[in-house]
Amino acid sequence: MLLYLPHASDNVAVATQDATVGDTGTTQFGSSIRLNSDVPVGFRVAVEDIECGDNLLSWGNVFGVANSDIQTGQAIYNKASVEALRESGRITTAGITENFIDHSSKYSSDSICVANRTRTVNTKTVPTFLGYQRDGNRGIGTRNYIAVVATSSLAASCARLVTQRVEHLADALDNLNGIVCVEHTEGSKAGASNTDIVLSTLAGFLLHPNLASVLLIDHPDAKVQSNDIINYIQDHHGDIAPVNHQTVVIDGNPNESIELGIQIVRNWIVDASNVVRTAHDVSGLKIALQCGGSDAFSGVTGNPLMARLASKLILHGGSINFSETPELIGAESYVLNQVASSEISNAFMERVEHFKEWLGEHGHSAAGNPSHGNLMRGLYNITIKSLGAAMKRPYDLPLEHVIKYSEFMCDPGAYFMDSPGNDIESVTGQVASGCNLIMFVTGNGSVTNFPFVPTVKIITTTDVYDRMSNEMDINAGRILENSSIDEESKLAYGLVQKVASGQATVGEEAGHSQVQIWRDWGNQSEKETYQEQQSLRLDERALPIRKHLIKDQLFAKMKGVAGSVSNQQHSLILPTSLCAGQVANMAAQRLNRKTVKTELETEYVTLPHTEGCGVSSGHSEKIIRNIFKGYLCHPLIKNSLVLEHGCENLHLGFMRKVLIEENIDPSVYGWASIQKDGGIESVILKIEDWFSGIQVENLHSNDTLNVSENMYSVAILGDSYVDAEIAHGFATLCQTMSEAGISVVLPTFTSLLQSKTFLTELFCRC
């Protein structure tokens, strides 16, 4: 077995496969080590005796301190990795011992290294690719799409409907890659802290060279409108002309607006399909370097391979963009080993410190960043994760630019873009900055893609590649076997040229994608949030309301299935994270197309959301637990299956634990994992098989009962001003339902609770 030392000075090495006590491992430098403990793949093993209090080194950097003597051949564990392994049941309590504590060196400006040479572009033998030349200084496109873009979350459903009606029109056209929907969760709320980010991102889409035309869908009630985006472009990008675009406003008749949008897109198709590819230098490539679902090998194979490609591209006049600010904390010295100027290093450190401060204000720290999937594959803490992530940064060339999220990339060279640690949010910002190709390194097997920019996926190990070969483009695991990083980088660079010229990636063939703009995290501190919660006096008890005599029976009994209140049955696919949402949606759509309706009709539904990848403990975890439990136990849901991506914090083990703690039997639910079950197609087949089996069981248990009013719970919503007359009407409605035994639920910030009339009539108080 190979024990890999990221740096010759390290005193711990990465185990490249599961091993047991007594096995012998050999480092790439020839040293043989006999293991005196079991070690899971990806975890590190001491290659020399380490005394209590000594530093643990990887890539020559300190990431931990031994809290007991560690013998040569002994596996190392910190508290977080021990808890993750125990929770998963992968190793028993007796099999592991915590023997080091986390450590992160404080960065010092004394270690700044300003490059003493400038980047020299090789103009003699510059490779080329076939791309789309765009007018208006928009650059070179690697794809040719028409996009239907929702300017806010309120417009998302209409944008989706327009796209579904026209996307087939591109199927037979060689030069038009497709008609795609770009929907997101932001832009609706006035006073949101991320409005500038939303405008910058959507402006970046309108300037992107991969788009031939863009249909903008506005909702009149949203904060962000298309005119705001155009004004942003004029104010910040006056020298760049936006893509051909038009706007449709969803007004009083949504159907008419949708039909108008469909006609506009139809009128664009001929011109868009007449655009042809021409040869261009690779200096026209702007590549996003990204990683997600990382493991111990991300910094050993995948990211170093990507760094080699990045160096070659920069030397040919191209640009690269790496990001994810919190996932470089602890690796500042490596990132800044060469910078174009001290201003660049100062700008980078300013973004890092700002992120730390923001986390601290909300009661968190970067220490909570590593996900369950990270921990299960040997990423013990944020320092070791950041050091591995930093390996994607070209070591031999200076960092030349530090930019804000979605800020446009104007010049060639190496860019750092400020962003959160979520890879989908980061990729969205990188695309808005102008990246026309994405390279994505993953250890656990992330399957995410972007709608109009190709993603080349690099898996870090051969064992995961063999399981998920249908989802991955490059197997960097060969670097640890019979190949070398030089050989693999040549092959990978050739693939990048082919993809830039139009060859489809496996992600494009799979036909799924996601967009997530950096979310509105709010500006409240932890103290302010706590005070707000206390002011609401939430005691989870029903409030007594005034009696309102009702002479007429307004609610008739209904016939329903046992445990439910409706004859319409739903089967739920519940994604545990943002990254699992799109695959859950694909599975639900496919099941709905295949389903043969029975007497008890079944509709397959899913509930995509933005959470789960990095949920912290405390109040946020409690909210997530309650929401997911509520979905799984909802009376309108007959059968439920939980779907994980595979590397998130809200993993299947966590969900099973939640159900058990609530005295709910996990065996009545289905369980599936995109990564562990072999990728998208394999996991969808597994989902179909589970629902097929459970539906057969249900055909023999169609128990019915009379459902009375007191089994109902009704939500009352309202987000706009209500006058006294409307408030009176809703108060009467709530009283009527309450007396009939129906539970009435009002969210804390509904506008009804701001009405004196409503409060007086309903609760006898102001």
| DSSP structural state of residue 519 | P
CATH number for position 72: 2.30.130.110
pLDDT range class, residue 491, cuts 50, 70, 90: very high
Residue 86: burial class (beta carbons within 10 Å; 0-12, 13-18, 19+): middle
Domain boundary among 242, 258, 274: 274
The identity of residue 274, as a single letter, is N
pLDDT digits (tens, 9 = 90+) for 131-143: 999 998 999 999 9
Same domain, 569 and 640: yes
Same domain, 466 and 327: yes
Domain boundary among 242, 259, 274: 274
pLDDT digits (tens, 9 = 90+) for 685-717: 999 999 998 866 665 555 554 555 556 789 998
In degrees rounded to 5, what are phi and psi of residue 574?
A: -100, 110
pLDDT range class, residue 558, cuts 50, 70, 90: very low
* 714 in any annotated domain: yes
Quick one: average pLDDT of 116-130? 76
Does the pLDDT value for residue 765 go beyond 90? no
Same domain, 582 and 466: no
Q: What is the predicted pLDDT for the residue at 654?
A: 87
pLDDT range class, residue 534, cuts 50, 70, 90: low
Taking the C-alpha atoms of residue 619 and residue 617, their distance in angstroms, rounded to an integer, is 7
pLDDT range class, residue 722, cuts 50, 70, 90: confident
Domain boundary among 703, 723, 744: 703
Same domain, 178 and 294: no
Taking the C-alpha atoms of residue 662 and residue 676, their distance in angstroms, rounded to an integer, is 26
Between 640 and 762, residue with greater pLDDT: 640
Does the pLDDT value for residue 185 go beyond 90? yes
Q: What is the predicted pLDDT for the residue at 71?
A: 96
* 53 in any annotated domain: yes
* 459 in any annotated domain: yes
- Bridge pairing between strands 455-459 and 319-322: unpaired
Does the pLDDT value for residue 214 go beyond 90? yes
Q: What is the predicted pLDDT for the residue at 541?
A: 61
Q: What is the predicted pLDDT for the residue at 738?
A: 86
Q: What is the predicted pLDDT for the residue at 562?
A: 53
CA angle (274 as vertex; 270, 277 as ends), nearest 5: 150
Same domain, 208 and 321: no
Does the pLDDT value for residue 567 go beyond 60? no
User: Average model confidence (pLDDT) for the chain?
Assistant: 89
Same domain, 617 and 632: yes
Q: What is the predicted pLDDT for the residue at 551?
A: 44
Which structural domain, as residue segments, surrounds residue 435?
Answer: 280-336+382-510
Q: What is the predicted pLDDT for the residue at 255?
A: 93
Same domain, 681 and 747: no
Among the residue ranges 115-119, 306-310, 394-398, 622-626, the one predicted with the least confidence is: 115-119
Quick one: average pLDDT of 52-59? 97
Other Cβ atoms less than 10 A from the Cβ of 411: the count is 8
Among the residue ranges 44-58, 446-460, 655-669, 733-747, the one predicted with the least confidence is: 733-747
Q: What is the predicted pLDDT for the residue at 162?
A: 98
Contact assessment for residue 480 and residue 16, using Cβ atoms and an 8 Å cutoff: yes
Q: What is the predicted pLDDT for the residue at 577?
A: 92
CA trace torsion 435, 439, 440, 443 (10° rounding):
-160
Taking the C-alpha atoms of residue 178 and residue 148, their distance in angstroms, rounded to an integer, is 11
Does the pLDDT value for residue 193 go beyond 70? yes
pLDDT range class, residue 118, cuts 50, 70, 90: low
Same domain, 429 and 450: yes
Q: What is the predicted pLDDT for the residue at 560?
A: 55
pLDDT range class, residue 542, cuts 50, 70, 90: low
Question: Comparing C-alpha atoms, which of 138, 121, 139, 141 is closest to residue 130?
Answer: 141
CA trace torsion 138, 141, 143, 147 (10° rounding):
0
* 552 in any annotated domain: no
Same domain, 24 and 88: yes
Q: Which of 262-266, 330-334, 558-562 has the highest mean pLDDT?
A: 262-266
Q: What is the predicted pLDDT for the residue at 425?
A: 96
Same domain, 624 and 722: no
CA angle (426 as vertex; 421, 432 as ends), nearest 5: 160
Quick one: average pLDDT of 63-83? 96
Same domain, 589 and 697: yes
Quick one: average pLDDT of 436-447? 97
Between 730 and 616, residue with greater pLDDT: 730
Q: What is the predicted pLDDT for the residue at 227?
A: 98
pLDDT digits (tens, 9 = 90+) for 642-686: 999 998 888 898 899 889 999 999 999 999 999 999 999 999 999
Q: What is the predicted pLDDT for the residue at 372?
A: 86
Between 120 and 599, residue with greater pLDDT: 120
pLDDT digits (tens, 9 = 90+) for 195-205: 999 999 999 99
CATH number for position 185: 3.40.50
pLDDT digits (tens, 9 = 90+) for 298-312: 999 999 999 999 999
Q: What is the predicted pLDDT for the residue at 404?
A: 98
Other Cβ atoms less than 10 A from the Cβ of 730: the count is 21
* 348 in any annotated domain: no
Q: Please give the C-alpha separations between residue 445 and each of 393, 489, 567, 585, 645, in angstroms, as whole numbers.
A: 21, 20, 40, 19, 9
- Bridge pairing between strands 139-141 and 128-134: antiparallel
Among the residue ranges 108-117, 370-379, 394-403, 711-720, the one predicted with the least confidence is: 108-117
Between 390 and 122, residue with greater pLDDT: 390
- Bridge pairing between strands 61-66 and 100-102: antiparallel
pLDDT range class, residue 549, cuts 50, 70, 90: very low
pLDDT range class, residue 766, cuts 50, 70, 90: very low
Among the residue ranges 70-74, 667-671, 706-710, 752-756, the one predicted with the least confidence is: 706-710
* 258 in any annotated domain: yes
Same domain, 693 and 764: no
* 547 in any annotated domain: no
* 357 in any annotated domain: no
In degrees rounded to 5, what are phi and psi of residue 606?
A: -140, 165
Question: How many domains is the chain built from?
Answer: 5
pLDDT digits (tens, 9 = 90+) for 592-645: 998 655 545 689 999 998 888 865 555 677 788 889 999 999 988 989 999 999
